[in-house]
Amino acid sequence: MEDTRVAVVTGSNKGIGLAIVRGLCSEFDGCVYLTARDEGRGMEAVEALQEEGLSVRFHQLDIDDEESIAAFKTHIEDTYGGLDVLVNNAAIAYKAAATEPFGEQAENSIRINFFGTLALCRSLFPLLRPHARVVTMSSFVAFLPRVNGDEPQAFNLREKLSSEELTEEELCDLMNQFVETAKDGTWTEAGWQSSAYSVSKVGVTALTRVQQRAFDDDPREDLIVNCCNPGAVVTDMSSHKGAFTVEQGAECPIYLALLPPDTEEPKGAYVWHDKQVVDWVKGPLPSPY
C-alpha cells in the first residue's frame, strides 16, 4: 500500500475539471487522479498533462454507474487506504436549445448531478482521512433566492432547503419531487426553476451544508466540505460562452481543496469564484456571475 496523500477530481478529462487537475498537480503534495467516464478520453488528457511534465494518474469513473463507483473505491482503498481531497466536478447540462421534454431533462440532470454526486460521496467518505477536503462544484444559478421568486410555494421550498435541520433523506425527497413535477408539468406551480441544471446545483449546494454538519460530528479531525461557484467559464458545457477561462474557473476549487489544517472558515459554505464566502440563503452576491 502506497504511503501518499491522494486527490481525486471527477469528470476531469476537459474543461474546469482538467484545469483543476493541472493546478493540483503543481500545488498538491501527493498523487492526483484524473477521472473520466470514457477511458480513451481520460488517457488522452493524462498523456497531454504528462507531456507538460506533470505527474498524474488515471482511473475510469462514472458517477452514474454503481459498479464504476465501487471499482474506484476499491482501487483507492486497496492502493492507498484513504483519501485526502475529493473534487466533485462531474456533471451534465442541457443546452438552451435542447428539444428533450423537460421531464426527461430533469430526471437525467438530477440523477447524475445530484444523486450521482451523492452516491460517490457515500462511497468515498468512509475513506476520508483526518484533515480531508471535499469540494463540490456549484454555480451562480444555484443561489437560493433564485428558486422561483416570491411565490408561497417557492418560499416554502427555500425554507426547507436552507433549514439547519434538513436531512440527506429529506433533501433527496425534494429532488425527487422536482423530477415528478417536471414530468407532470407542475414544476413552476411547485416553486421550482425552469432549469434542471439550476435545480441540480441547488441540490448539491444544500447537500454541502448537510454534509458539513455530519463532518462536524465525525470523530475524524477537521473534515471540511465546501461548494463553489466557478463563475461563467468558457467551456463545452457553457457552449463556450462566459467571462472566465477554465484556469480562472479552477482557482476557487483549488483554493478550497488546499485549505490548510484546522481552517475555521470557509466550512460548509457557498464560495464565490473570487473566494468570497456568500450567504447562500440571503446574499448579497458579489457579482452577477
Catalytic positions, written as ranges? 197
Q: Which amino acid is at 76?
A: I
Cα(14)–Cα(29) distance, integer angstroms = 22
Cα(160)–Cα(122) distance, integer angstroms = 22
Helix and strand numbers, DSSP H then E, in the chain: 9, 8
Q: What are the DSSP calls for 2-18, one per residue?
A: --S-EEEESS-SSHHHH
Q: Residue 229 has which C-alpha cell?
A: 461557484
Sign of the CA dihedral running 199, 235, 87, 216? negative
Cα(18)–Cα(219) distance, integer angstroms = 33
Of residues 253, 269, 204, 271, the one with CA closest to residue 19: 253
